[in-house]
Amino acid sequence: MQYCSHWKDIRKDLKSGAFALIDLRSPKEFAQGHIPEAINLPLLDNDERHTVGKLYKEAGKYEAVTCGLAIFAAKAPTFLSQIESLTSAHDIAIYCWRGGMRSRLVGAWLSLARFKVRILKGGYKNFRRDVLESMQKFAEHPKIVLNGRTGSGKTLFLKDLQNRGYPAIDFEGIACHRGSAFGGLAQRESSPTQQNFENQLYDAYLEVETWPKILLEIENFIGPVRLPQKLRESLKTAPMVFLSRDFDDRVKLLTQIYCNDWNAKTEQEFVNNLPLLKKYLSGADQEQMIQAMRQRNFGELVSQLLRLRYDRVYDKSLTRHQSQAMAHFNLSQEEAAATEFLQNVLQEKIIS
């Protein structure tokens, strides 16, 4: 067995597909938070873990360990076949909560079965410590922030630069949510837990941490998850590039993003979420929007939401942050200029 003292020691090989990463903890522990790309093969399921834990408190360590070993022994052949199906190279990395008994037991057993086993020292607990320390470093990292009204295309613009190889992180993509009352509509996956959101942020930050500046979008709470506080605060004071788009283009873009795959489920989610805006929309406004939605008049629906709610909110933010503005671009006419400007900023050809 080989002990790896830090997640970065094995991350590069994992990204290249050189081995499989196995989380030995229970499904409940795994669901709450896990290392990105890990596969859950639990030694004990949720009920079994509860039974062993209760026995530990009532009868002691020896009885609990003996019980756990007996439970695992019955499922060992299935466990081994699952491991073998994951990697033909017989090269795996494993972790549990602290890199303790579960990891040592499975590591020794798999080594006897001729697997090349790496154990993440300190387990998931140490990984989470690294995540939280990295969020502090992330908050202090120089950054450029995109700001602008809903529908300006900030996220699409950021993702385009990211796809071109520039240091950008898509918060909404990681959160599987667009941040508004309707940000969960048309999402293919549900939002992660707060822990997994932070874990994936850490993984994304490791991809760009060597760049002098990182491109981000101004965010705070993104549906059910939130950015760490110090990172949120750093976005509010960073240099900003303000993006706009002609109103009709914004309506068209938002309609494409939110309404292309509209179905009965989406309709019900919209109706359920619309009351979240009751502080800003009258009952008549809401009824008019529901009618437009049911008639599939999405252009009218989006126009009403922008005028009555979202433009008012973003205009306050834009006014508040004007002193941080590096540049303004209307993407309806100046997308190429905006791209060139930010490429130069990120490469430090322009000093922010």
pLDDT tens-digit map of 237-282:
999 999 999 999 999 999 999 888 888 888 999 999 999 999 889 9
- Looking at the structure, do residues 332 and 188 belong to the same domain, yes or no? yes
Query: Which residue, of 129, 150, 167, is where some domain finishes?
Result: 129
Nearest Cα to 146, choosing from 169, 164, 180?
169
Strand partners, 120: 4
Query: Which residue, of 129, 158, 181, is where some domain finishes?
Result: 129
Domain that holds residue 41: 2-129
Domain-located, residue 136: no
Between the alpha carbon of residue 253 and those of residues 82, 150, 223, the distances in Å are 45, 10, 21
- Looking at the structure, do residues 73 and 147 belong to the same domain, yes or no? no
* Rounded CA separation 230/239 (Å): 16
Which one has a higher pLDDT value, 177 or 19?
A: 177
Write down the pLDDT at residue 55.
Answer: 86
Find all residues with CB under 8 Å of 203, minimum gap 6, and list them.
11, 36
* Rounded CA separation 270/262 (Å): 10
Between the alpha carbon of residue 256 and those of residues 2, 62, 131, 249, 286, the distances in Å are 50, 61, 35, 11, 22
| Alpha helix positions (H), the chain | 8-15, 27-32, 46-59, 61-86, 101-112, 123-140, 154-163, 171-175, 194-208, 229-237, 247-259, 264-273, 283-294, 298-305, 311-320, 331-346
pLDDT tens-digit map of 180-218:
888 888 787 899 999 999 999 999 999 999 999 999 999
- Looking at the structure, do residues 58 and 104 belong to the same domain, yes or no? yes
* Rounded CA separation 248/232 (Å): 31
Nearest Cα to 39, choosing from 25, 49, 50?
25
Query: Which residue, of 101, 129, 157, is where some domain finishes?
Result: 129
Judge contact between 7 and 131, C-beta under 8 A: no
- Looking at the structure, do residues 105 and 166 belong to the same domain, yes or no? no
Judge contact between 242 and 148, C-beta under 8 A: yes
Write down the pLDDT at residue 185.
Answer: 82
Q: Does 96 qualify as catalytic in the annotation?
A: yes
CATH number for position 49: 3.40.250.10
pLDDT tens-digit map of 71-94:
888 888 899 889 888 876 678 999
**Radius of gyration in angstroms for the set of CA atoms belonging to the chain, rounded to a whole number:** 24
pLDDT tens-digit map of 223-232:
999 999 999 9
- Looking at the structure, do residues 201 and 119 belong to the same domain, yes or no? no
Domain-located, residue 352: no
- Looking at the structure, do residues 173 and 287 belong to the same domain, yes or no? yes
Name the catalytic one among 67, 96, 176, 259. 96
Q: Is the pLDDT of residue 123 over 80?
A: yes
Domain-located, residue 296: yes
- Looking at the structure, do residues 120 and 213 belong to the same domain, yes or no? no
Total number of domains in the chain: 2
- Looking at the structure, do residues 195 and 280 belong to the same domain, yes or no? yes
pLDDT band at 350 (very low <50, low <70, confident <90, very high): low
Domain-located, residue 351: no
Domain-located, residue 342: yes
- Looking at the structure, do residues 72 and 159 belong to the same domain, yes or no? no
Residue type at 55 in one-letter notation: L
- Looking at the structure, do residues 101 and 155 belong to the same domain, yes or no? no
* Rounded CA separation 339/228 (Å): 28
- Looking at the structure, do residues 125 and 226 belong to the same domain, yes or no? no
- Looking at the structure, do residues 243 and 292 belong to the same domain, yes or no? yes
Q: Is the pLDDT of residue 52 over 90?
A: no
Find all residues with CB under 8 Å of 35, minimum gap 6, and list them.
7, 21, 23, 95, 120, 124, 127, 199
pLDDT band at 352 (very low <50, low <70, confident <90, very high): low
Domain-located, residue 134: no
CATH number for position 259: 3.40.50
